Structure 1
Amino acid sequence: MTTNTALEEKFREVGGKRPYVQRLFGRIAGIYDLMNRLMSLGLDRYWRKRAARYLALATGQTGLDLGAGTADLSIAVVNGAGPGTKMIGMDITPEMLDEGRRKLVRMGLQDRIELRVGDAEHIDLPDNSVDGCCSAFMVRNLADIPQGFREMLRVVRPGGRVVCLEISHPPGKIFGSLFYLYFYKLAPLFGTIIGKAFEEYNYLPNSLTTFPKAPALKEIMEEAGWSDVRYYYLNGGIVAIHVGTKAE
């Protein structure tokens, strides 16, 4: 049985990919931030800052963070923007949002970032209601990626951007081999030792197996209606930031 077949079987057992992902992230919510720091060797904060810069919200604007989790990307956006900038963070996992709310209170950002349960494939917001949309490590968890990008396009105002930060497929042969060794073998081991969460940290790398490479994801975004779509590799292609604009 291939890994992907095994994953698909697990999705079927619980009624689909969405409920599987929701339960999985609910179980690791308490260790999610710690594991991000450890597994990325601290680079995940830098990646989010870069993504926030590409979103480029102006003072007084409101952005949407999909798959907001514990709110790290929303925090990076408001910290890098003017004092009147606000974020709405949506996630399907209440446990992750609870962790995020505690963090926002500690940082005094609860008035600038609103976290709510929400689904990126069916966004509970009106058309043209936010100035920009972003996500970090969320798109590969969608059951229907094109539908997610169509929904993002619907809620963003004309002229606004979408910015998606994702684990990618490093294009270089030697570096790519090292990355796969680390991501597929060592990451699940870290998850087992630190969080007693082998299944969760086995899913995360294997979710990348069928995830489109950066050029293919660019095409999906364009087919969904996004204009001027570009992607930027960071750290040798470990991650990529995908940026698109809604035509005016």
Structure 2
Amino acid sequence: MQPMSEDGLVRSDAGWFDTARRRRIGLPEAIYAPGKAETDLVALIEQSLASGEPTIVTRVERELAERLVDRFDLRPYPALERRAPMVALAGNPVPSSSLERVGLVGILAAGTSDRPVAAEAACVIETLGHRTRFVLDCGVAALARSVRAMEEVADADVVVVVAGFEGALASVVGGSMAQPLIAVPTSTGYGAARGGETALWAMLATCAQGVCVVGVDNGFGAGCAAVRIVGAAGRNA
């Protein structure tokens, strides 16, 4: 591994790592696991942890995540015992005490199958020092659950809605709550759900005003957007 340059870049056989990104935009560089050899992932994680910056590794296959957790001081999202097929990993969390303002982000996951994507959003938010309130299995198949879930996150600064199938939960929440809303379509669902495409188009076409939508299964992007919103609120307070 080469020493850090003046612009915060560190280079190894696994590539460049940008240790100054959080100073520029408030968000650290994350490590996207799919397609990377385990040796490259290990090298990048070592770079990130050594920099002291928050470390976030996304979409890690569970068996590989187990090996990485054994090797490094990393927290898995969701917990490994839940045996989710994909896991996000986090290290070097930002102390909440270092922030001007700690935000609260409500995360509503329509179904239990949406947990890994919702947990990825929570990984980003919590690793960057903010709080989350996670409500699972509150989809519109039983609307009373959706109503109760919205009551549970009524005091949140931002709400992230994670839903597959037809993605209706985003419209229900967007038409009921005033907070900034980030909708995450997931690839959960049968047939016409088309791997998340139906939920994506439904969320983009929602008549609930001001709903922001990220790509299919992009819990990481939703978490980053939530942190940007909370950070902007803190600067303008």
TM-score bin (small chain): 0.3 to 0.5
When normalised by structure 2's length, the TM-score is 0.37
When normalised by structure 1's length, the TM-score is 0.36
> Bigger radius of gyration, 1 or 2?
2
Higher helix share: 1
